[in-house]
């Protein structure tokens, strides 16, 4: 999956597969996580957010199932 680099202290890049509704997050630690059944508006709002980490905490983590890649 192609990911877009972002400006964040905790996140390096973000990708999204619209057909599978999978959001992929690469953290500065090198770990990559996939979040499942994520609507495209969450991805779009995440990319547009002033705080990537804050948005993840309030709108993604704990709301969608995930796995480490």
**Structural domain span for residue 53:** 3-68
Q: How confident is the model over 19-50, as pLDDT tens digits? A: 999 999 999 999 999 999 999 999 999 999 99
Confidence bin at 1 (pLDDT 50/70/90) = confident
Q: What is the pTM of this model?
A: 0.95
Domain count, the chain: 1
Question: 43: burial class by Cβ within 10 Å (0-12, 13-18, 19+)?
Answer: buried
């Amino acid at each position: 999956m192609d990911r877009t680099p972002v400006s964040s202290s905790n996140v390096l890049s973000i990708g999204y597969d619209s057909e599978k509704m999978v959001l992929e997050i690469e953290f500065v630690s090198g770990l990559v996580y996939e979040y499942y059944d994520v609507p495209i508006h969450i991805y779009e709002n995440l990319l547009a957010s002033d705080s990537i980490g804050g948005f993840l905490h309030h709108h993604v983590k704990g709301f969608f199932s995930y796995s480490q890649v």
